[in-house]
Amino acid sequence: MISTLAEARAHAARRRELTHRLKETLVERLDLDRRTDEIPDDCLLFGVGLGLDSVDALEIVVAVESEFGIRVEDDDMKEIRSVNSIVDLILSRQTPKEDAR
Amino acid sequence: MTDYRRLRTQAGLADLQAWTRFELVGPQACDALDAVVGGNVRDLFEGRAANTLIPSSSGGIEAIVWVIALPENGYRIVGEPEDGEAVGRALAQSVAGRDAAIRDIRDETFALALIGPEAEKVAWKAFGDEVHSIAFLNVMPVGDPAVLAARIGYFGEYELHLFGEIERKQSIVDTLGKAADGDPLVVGDGALPTMMTEMGTLSRARDVPPDVSVFEAGLQWMIDFRKENLRSAEALEHEKRAVHRKCVLMVVDGNASDLRRQSVFIEDHELGRIQSAFDSETLGRSVALAYLTEELAIPGLTCVVGPARRRGETVSAPAFLGRSILENLG
């Protein structure tokens, strides 16, 4: 639970770095015609939002696994819905040491 | 059963008669519309719908709209009830000098939304197999005589929005009522703001104050920044570099009745304020949209809200996945 200002700032810095890396990864791997600052953190990836499809979903899984060193299981697919939800997934799987690489 | 519960677990029919509806036709209708909305209308093919917005001159939001591409250079523009004047004014200015015509069709057409995990089944019984071929963001006529059916969405469940001549409204309501096997189908619109907020779907009128930019609202995905004719392009470019706060979804203990405008704190540091809040039956808590300082506008924080220091958390949108979505995921 993050409930002090110092913890919140540390969490925000870590999360911001992960979010930026994820957006860069999505833009590069999916060849998106957008800059990272044109993708809101809560932007949905499929349908409305970025308008991605099921083929893109598989590419996202591969990209997240290789870029962030986590394993994405079938049950995790429901978390692949927005930049924020993927960052939530990465944070839940990464140890601070892994994230620092 | 509450309307909310019906819409989240079965099917309900909401009357969206008051919602803004314009029709734009003519050889230069595409040019006229593309110059007004942030999305790229030139890439919108007949039978498709897109969610976009009309940027204000200061880089804010005049209206959030759905644009539906119809045959023969025709478009339907659908928006919130409060935005009719702004949408009409922007379209009228753009149509001037072009070979295109705009018409306010709110009074001469109906707008109904069939919503819920069982809604597709009800639509199928009413209109036949063709309902199953309407993918999300697709639009096609259904029934005989036909009404326009659009798979657009606000509430995180299966939604089929139906448009037709106002004289046919009651017969469509009756047809859908019979297809629901006698279950009460018509719901009020009271549950809709709650459902939108749970999904993190913003209402321009309710959730976006006039001084909030497209980027602070998190709606820049609705804009194609590579368009040469992008309305308010200079102001948008400026606002992109001037984000001081961001809209964040929150879940807060207790009921929502007195949460609006309440300050959000971590320790004694004020992060921002709640913009809108509703009681969520699904969560058993309140869902709220808040504008928080950019530095800390992220999910995963535990905060206190208001003088009663109620516990709240910032969360990723949506606050949960609707049953329609979960069943679709298998």
d(CA B44, CA B227): 14
- Would you state the structure tokens that stand for residue A72, as one six-digit string? 């994405």
Q: Count helices and strands (H / E) in chain A.
A: 4, 0
In this structure, are residues B160 and B150 in contact, taking their beta carbons and an 8 Å threshold? yes
Residue of B nearest to A42 (CA): B317
Q: In this structure, which amino acid lies at residue B182?
A: G
Is residue A40 pLDDT above 80, yes or no? yes
**From the candidates B241, B266, B270, B304, which should be mutated to test the interface with A, based on the most A CB atoms within 10 A?**
B266
- Interchain contact A1–B (C-beta under 8 A): yes
**What is the per-residue pLDDT for A95?**
64
Mean pLDDT of A64-88: 92
Contacts A91 to B, Cβ<8 Å: 300
What was the ipTM of the complex prediction? Answer: 0.90
In this structure, are residues B17 and B82 in contact, taking their beta carbons and an 8 Å threshold? no
Mean pLDDT of A8-27: 95
Q: How many residues does chain A have?
A: 101
In this structure, are residues B217 and B208 in contact, taking their beta carbons and an 8 Å threshold? yes
Pairing of strands B186-187, B12-15: parallel
Report whether the peptide linkage leading into residue B318 is cis, meaning its omega lies within 30 degrees of zero: yes
Collapse the DSSP code of B201 into the 3-class scheme (helix H, G, I; strand E, B; otherwise coil) and give the result.
Answer: coil
Q: Report yes or no on whether pTM surpasses 0.90.
A: yes
**What is the per-residue pLDDT for B244?**
95
Measured between CA atoms, how close is A77 to chain B, in angstroms?
8
- Would you state the structure tokens that stand for residue B205, as one six-digit string? 């009128």
Tokens 């803004």 belong to residue: B20
**What is the per-residue pLDDT for B330?**
60
**What is the per-residue pLDDT for B182?**
77
Exposed/middle/buried for B140, CB within 10 Å: 0-12, 13-18, 19+? middle
In this structure, are residues A99 and A18 in contact, taking their beta carbons and an 8 Å threshold? yes
- Interchain contact A34–B (C-beta under 8 A): yes
Report which of residues A96 and B89 the model is more confident about: B89
Beta bridge partners of B304: B265, B311
Mean pLDDT of A10-19: 95
In this structure, are residues B318 and B8 in contact, taking their beta carbons and an 8 Å threshold? no
DSSP assignment of B262-311 = -EEEETTEEEEEEEEEEEETTTTEEEEEEEEEGGG--SS-EEEETTTTEE
Is residue A100 pLDDT above 60, yes or no? no
Is residue A78 pLDDT above 90, yes or no? no
Mean pLDDT of A16-42: 95
Q: How far is CA B51 from the centre of its chain?
A: 8
**What is the per-residue pLDDT for B323?**
86
Residue of A nearest to B319 (CA): A85
Residue in B246, B243, B242 with CA at minimum distance from that of residue B292: B246
**pLDDT < 50 positions in chain B:** none
